[in-house]
Amino acid sequence: MALMDHFRELKSRLFKAALGIVLASIGGWFLFDMVFNSLQQPVIDSAEAAGQLISVNFTGVATALDMRIKVSLFVGLVISSPWWLYQLWAFITPGLARKEKIYAYGFVGATVPLFLGGGLLAWLVLPHAIGILTAFVPEDSANLLDAQTYLSFVMRLLLAFGLAFAMPVLLVGLNFMGLLSAATMLRGWRWAIVVAFTFSAMMTPTPDALTMILVALPICALYFVALGVAWLHDRKAAQTMERLDAELADY
């Protein structure tokens, strides 16, 4: 494929991906009330438990509109993730062999549920985090949370956990490309655990160790699953090479 053809293909894929995100964001616009109610429910529950004034506050004239647009785009990005990931791989895979294309589609199929699973875990951690953090508000005081700041906090939490859960797919992809061996991953398992617990300690906005452990354990488990897949792939590749060497020797 000529260079200009690559640019035209890239332009087409980017347009299709953007169109999918925009259409999903339109749906997100109509889902805003449901999503926002879910976002502020942990705050409401914390306020009731503490008997204090704790609420999400819109500080500007256009803050409500701005937040609705951001939530719609975020929901659209999540909903359309299978579509824009497919467009990404569709741009990459034309030069790949049939078997390599199957691997590529498999990676996309694994990345989406892992990303969503990480986001779901973050969503389950969120009420616990809000409850602990708002418990530090002094008695007879109010905690008016800026809507923009609160939304950014939740979005960063969801995206960070989603990306962390999808990271093992990247490791397997590097292994299938021959850039990372299972032996290297095995030698680095201690560092992987340290990184997982450090990430969990930084990203879980709660001071308790239990939440950190509950978040870190699935990340560690996914690392060892990726290690197992890489080991099986390396073993199969080694057996294939041995068979080819034997055939060449007989020939």
Q: Where are the domains of the chain?
A: 3-49+60-237
Q: Is 4 exposed, middle or buried (0-12, 13-18, 19+ CB in 10 A)?
A: exposed
Average pLDDT, the chain: 83
Contacts of 142 (CB under 8 A, 6+ apart): 52, 53, 54
Say what angle helices 98-134 and 32-50 make with each other, to 10 degrees: 30
The first and second tokens of residue 178, run together, are 């021959």
| Range in 24-33, 52-61, 93-102, 145-154 the model is least confident about | 93-102
Residue 130 has pLDDT above 80, yes or no: yes
pLDDT of residue 30: 92
243 vs 31, residue with greater confidence:
31
In this structure, the number of other CB atoms found within 10 A of the CB of residue 227 comes to 22
In this structure, the number of other CB atoms found within 10 A of the CB of residue 119 comes to 20
**pLDDT digit string, tens, across residues 158-190:** 888 888 888 888 888 778 777 788 899 999 999
Contacts of 134 (CB under 8 A, 6+ apart): 43, 46, 47, 50, 54, 143
Q: What is the rounded distance in angstroms from the CA atom of residue 69 to the CA atom of residue 122?
A: 22
Residue 232 has pLDDT above 80, yes or no: yes
Question: In this prediction, what percent of the chain has a pLDDT beyond 90?
Answer: 14
Mean pLDDT of the region 95-113: 72
Residue 95 has pLDDT above 60, yes or no: no
pLDDT of residue 72: 92
Q: What is the rounded distance in angstroms from the CA atom of residue 221 to the CA atom of residue 207?
A: 23
